[in-house]
Amino acid sequence: MVSRDPVTLLTALDLDIPKVPVCKYSVGLTNSDAVNAFADGFHVILTSGMMRFAEKDEELALVVGHEIAHNALEHVTQNTVNYLPGPSIRGRGGLRGVVPCGPGRL
């Protein structure tokens, strides 16, 4: 019998996957037409352009999950981030213009 239930599938594989706490990051929104999102090691930031571009909540969830993974794997501290906006975000006072998003606000 074929099962698509993820719990059944993972139980059958008997994998030892360590749990990593990754939900300690705040999520914010910055006003930009760019379709982008980024992680800085402490926050996950989405642009207003990304919010307009995504047609479904699931698409935004995928983007946020991707950025959380960058934070959890410490890609910023390893200098392996593909793109992080320059002076407007990092060089002049940090994350000015970023609006915090709470649960249900994405």
What's the pLDDT tens digit per position in 33-59?
A: 999 999 999 899 999 999 999 999 999
Whether 38 is in a domain gets the answer yes
Q: Quick check: helix, strand or coil at residue 9?
A: helix
CATH number, residue 93: 3.30.2010
Report yes or no: 42 and 26 within 8 Å, Cβ to Cβ: yes
Over 70: is that where the pLDDT of 9 sits?
no
Tell me the per-residue pLDDT of 62-106, one tens digit each, with 9 for 90 and over: 999 999 999 888 888 765 445 455 544 444 444 445 555 544 443
**Count of structural domains within the chain:** 1
Q: Is residue 42 part of a domain?
A: yes
Which residue segment(s) compose the domain that 55 sits in? 21-101
Assess if residue 62 is contained within a domain: yes
Confidence of residue 30 (pLDDT cuts 50, 70, 90): very high
* pTM, two decimal places: 0.56
* 31 belongs to a structural domain: yes
In a domain, 59, yes or no: yes
Instruction: Please check whether residue 13 lies inside any domain of the structure.
Output: no
User: So what's the pLDDT on residue 31?
Assistant: 93
Q: Is 44 exposed, middle or buried (0-12, 13-18, 19+ CB in 10 A)?
A: buried
Query: Can you read off the two tokens belonging to residue 77?
Result: 């501290």
> Residue 14: inside a domain, yes or no?
no
The band of 16, judged by pLDDT with boundaries at 50, 70 and 90, is confident
